[in-house]
Chain A
Amino acid sequence: MRTEAIGRADMTSMPTTFPASKDQVPLRVRAPFVHRLKQKGRLYLTLALLMTPTIGGMLLFTYYPQLGTILHSFERWDGHMIREPVGLRNFHKAFTGDPLFWHTFTLVLILFAANLVKMWPSIFTAIVLHRIRSDKWQYRYRVLFVLPMIIPGLVWLLIWKTFYEPSTGPLNKFLNATGLLAVLRAMDTAMPQLAGALEPLRRSTIDAAFNNVWGLAVFGMMVLSAGGGLRRLLANWMWWLVLLAAALWTWGDRPAYFAWALAAVVGVELVQRRMGLAWRDLPKWIGAGCLAAAALAVLLSMTWTAPTHAFDSPTPEWLARTQLVIPAMIFWGFPWVGTVGVLIYLSGLQSISQDVYEAAEIDGITSFGKLIYIELPLMLTQIRINLVFLTIGTLTDYGLILLLLGPEGGPNNVGLVPGLYMYREAFIRGEFGYACALGMVMFGIILFITIFYQKYIRVEK
């Protein structure tokens, strides 16, 4: 009330004597500016002092080397003595004169696709953990998941190396004991025959309509992304740029296919609009169907096209055969339940309010429904975080391959990944400047992918 009274009073009614107690201090009387500045200054200074060690360490040990990398990427630098600016020559060489570097991305794409599948066991494990009703048992299982972290990563790698050992390794013993080796041997004959049988079908259908399997995949993604009009298209401009690049790569020499694909996308969209809400999901079905068909075509008719004879002996050489190295890299880490991933997903799940579950249960949701409509959508932030880590890890890690296959990346250099190639350029060839430039190229790729995830993988609040 006093405040209102003062608020309504004009200057002529202001008290002329000092108040008896501080409770009677009018609220309009504020501390002098300098005093406020000093108080805030002290607070900010304390905060700054507390943060200085961390920021200083980060600047010195993280940002300073990165700045060095940027500078050195424009130099011919041998790590010590030779240091001459060469402008964009390193980048020019990376983009035009080094086919080996870009070849390394083939394995990265395969590993990335495999890792996208391998992240799901962690998600499901986190969901199962989350649904354990007893807090005590949930805690105990969490501890059990965390305990293996005390084993150094190098020890894990060495254990897996013995796992793959042809004569005495547990993997081959298991395959022999269970008869799975005989199954693989049979598949080594059957799969190429299937691929041979499917190839004419693929050529007469997919290749005829879309130029190749990748064309079908690009078309499927275009259909999935279409819809929502021009506004949605402009909002997803980044994704459409990626699609355009993929389309150019697939149909660059066949513009007719590009035109027909665009026309088909527009056609599907128009049909869906005309048919109304009942057909709203038509583009999704067509797009998903195309992607599934492309994936099946790749798996069944383009992957295992000739017998490898790798399973003829009872001791398949997992790390010494070109055809087996990639499956060995993919299988590494089975059952692919990573502690850090599980904990990150669990933290996301634990932030879901119980009210959401209760409301859904009232509506009669099933367990599977909870997974699809509640848990997975609300975990998208954590999934995105892990996707970023996964992408960075897939693109940059090479320790596993260096240990298992050596610096050449195994037979036919099939295990050569960009990180290992960069390591070779720096520490074996002594081309540190060029290795920095390769690092910058990879940085650009990772940055683009991260921005993409930030934009398109998020929880719709």
Chain B
Amino acid sequence: MRWLNSNVLGLGLLAVGFAASIFQIFSKEREFSEPGKTILRICHWQLELGYRDALEKVIAEYQKLHPNVKVVQMPVTERLYPQWLNVQLISREAPDLCEMGMNKFTQDDTYMVRFFLPLSDIVEKPNPYNRGTELEGVPWRETFIDGMRGGYRESLQDYYSVPTTTAAMRFFYNKDLLRRATGSDRPPQTFGQLLDVCAKVKEYGRRTGELYIPILSNYQVEPFIDPYLTAFTAGLEPQVDFDLDGVISRLDTHAGFVRGMLSMDMPEVRGFYELMKALCDNMAPGFAGMDRQQAQWYFVQGRGAFLATGSWDGESIYQQAVEAGFPVGVIPFPIPAKGERWGDQVIGKRNEANAQGIGPYGVYKFSRNQAVAIDFLHFLTSRKYNEMFNQEAGWPPVTIGAQAKELMKPFQPDPTGYNTRIYFDINPQVDLVWKGQQARFLSGEIPYETLAAEYTRAVFNEGYGGDRAWGQEYDRRMRECRDQERVLAVQACRIIYGLDARDAPAKYRKVLVQQVTRNNGQDLRARFNELRPGKPMPEP
């Protein structure tokens, strides 16, 4: 075997590697093409434990009923999903069903109308897969617990996606650690009680010489911003609501700063940051640099008392906690009570009445299998299969009557409380500065005064500050008006030609009112002129 030398071996390995890659490529190709079958592709970024298996289970059931259809999942990592989908959409190669969210093309009305199919006519009809249940004959959209608001676009007066589940953020807590550290596994009901528990957990860690972290978060400080900022600043709405629409928007926040009605020295804002600092003092060292996997790893190792994350992580947390041998409970984020520190500054908790279905899927406008795609969505959101899907995935269902898993019951939306707050992320550039400085403040690197000064400087920066947000919004409004004109034309045609147009007059009226009040973005221009007299509208 003189011929068998290292060169031949190397060549052999190369050939094997090449053959394996070719095989892999052709296997993938075969996955997306099977003669005689319609291939339906569905893409999403949900790599959490249970989701893909749950979807495969529903797919298997669907394929039993429709043997000529093959449904293929295309999961993409969260970090890459926005730009991956952008490219797919632009190149007209997008899958038939795309999970909406994360990027501009699936959130901005202007792009949505170009890439995704409007579903109004379809959602008014009943879901055929609800036959035999009490939802039989009920319009599809009314079978959702949020009335399919999660897929509705107000300015376009149409539905562009179909939600498949619901979600909320909560604290998961380690009952066993709480019992060992505090003597009871009763969770804290108020923020003051939360800080007490955290102090006891830290003390327990010092006593035992073990590493215990009171508070962990899968998303750093993000889960806490909305509930606590609402609690502190919802009461500012009457004075800061510049456009009088009942909620404080980003532009309202900027206008508040410009008019002197908002500042970083206000007790509400300062109080919010003091509370956040107290919270972060109980988080893991280096929490600002800790990612989701690391935080969850600490918790399921039994090293964390509380973990802030969403219901989508519930299944994997419960499973891993069971393996690790400790029970897990769920509580909402507690707010300060009267008599506690900040208790007099908070107005109340955030409500979740506006909670909408999530995990929405849109039908790609240029898909060759639109009918099959819609049929699959019907199937996935029918009572029976939405329950199956969400029980398997460990998520709360979105269809009325579908039963949630026991562990998902604490994630039911709470409709009491307040629903508005100020926004620090006025535009992407100010957001960049805000997040950078906030991270420094919350980790104790800089005092609050420095955060306040840097943020205020960014808001009033001539080049990239808050004024530019007006220009960006004005540009968006003008484009939105053009889309609304299109909607008006379509509705008018439906009325004129009598094309099953029961909802057309109402839609026409609503869009017309929006058009008239917004008037090609002039309402925004008028408000900007009022705010900054004599200054031209900034470039977007």
Residues of A at the B interface (CB closer than 8 Å) are 78-82, 97-100, 161-162, 164-168, 313, 315, 317-323, 402, 404-405, 408-414, 416, 424, 427-430
Given the contacts A320-B287, A411-B439, A98 and B463 also touching, CB distance less than 8 Å: yes
Closest to B431 in A: A408
**How far, in Å, is B43 (CB) from chain A's closest CB?**
17
- Identify which of B287, B289, B436, B463 contacts A404 (C-beta below 8 A): B289
How long is the Cα–Cα vector from A165 to B211 in the complex, in angstroms? 14
Report chain A residues within 8 Å CB of B428: 424, 428-429
Closest to A158 in B: B293
**How far, in Å, is A188 (CB) from chain B's closest CB?**
14
Report chain B residues within 8 Å CB of A97: 463-464
Q: Which of B104-112, B180-188, B329-337 contacts A (4 or more CB under 8 A)?
A: B104-112
Contact with A along B403-439 (1 / 0, CB 8 A): 0000000000000000000000000110011011101
Given the contacts A81-B114, A428-B428, A320 and B436 also touching, CB distance less than 8 Å: no
- Identify which of B86, B90, B288, B429 contacts A427 (C-beta below 8 A): B86
Extra 17 A-B pairs, beta carbons < 8 Å, given A82-B479, A318-B289: A79-B105, A80-B111, A97-B463, A162-B294, A167-B211, A315-B286, A317-B443, A320-B287, A321-B286, A408-B436, A408-B439, A411-B436, A412-B436, A413-B436, A424-B428, A427-B86, A428-B428
Closest to A425 in B: B428
Contact with A along B268-303 (1 / 0, CB 8 A): 000000000000000011111111001000100000
How long is the Cα–Cα vector from A322 to B103 in the complex, in angstroms? 29
Closest to A408 in B: B435
Report chain A residues within 8 Å CB of B445: 321-323, 411
How long is the Cα–Cα vector from A29 to B233 in the complex, in angstroms? 99
B40 interface hit (Cβ, 8 Å): no
Report chain B residues within 8 Å CB of A402: 79
How long is the Cα–Cα vector from A322 to B435 in the complex, in angstroms? 13
Given the contacts A79-B86, A80-B105, A81-B111, A408 and B285 also touching, CB distance less than 8 Å: no
Helix, strand, loop or mixed for chain B's interface?
Answer: helix
- Range for the number of chain B residues in contact with chain A: 35 or more
Q: Which of B211, B291, B479 has the most CB of A within 10 A?
A: B291
Interface pairs A-B: 5 shortest CB-CB: A319-B289, A317-B286, A166-B286, A413-B436, A320-B288
- Identify which of B90, B289, B479 contacts A320 (C-beta below 8 A): B289
Residue pair B439, A412 in contact (C-beta under 8 Å): yes
Q: Which of B114, B288, B294, B433 has the most CB of A within 10 A?
A: B288
Residue pair B463, A99 in contact (C-beta under 8 Å): yes
B198 interface hit (Cβ, 8 Å): no
Report chain B residues within 8 Å CB of A321: 286, 443, 445
How long is the Cα–Cα vector from A165 to B114 in the complex, in angstroms? 44
Closest to B458 in A: A100
Report chain B residues within 8 Å CB of A414: 436
**How far, in Å, is A323 (CB) from chain B's closest CB?**
8
How long is the Cα–Cα vector from A99 to B462 in the complex, in angstroms? 11
How long is the Cα–Cα vector from A90 to B192 in the complex, in angstroms? 51
25 A–B pairs (Cβ distance < 8 Å), ordered by A? A79-B105, A80-B105, A80-B111, A97-B463, A97-B464, A161-B294, A166-B284, A167-B284, A167-B285, A317-B285, A317-B286, A320-B287, A320-B443, A321-B443, A322-B440, A323-B445, A408-B439, A410-B288, A410-B289, A410-B436, A411-B445, A412-B439, A427-B86, A428-B428, A430-B104
**How far, in Å, is A423 (CB) from chain B's closest CB?**
9
How long is the Cα–Cα vector from A286 to B82 in the complex, in angstroms? 55
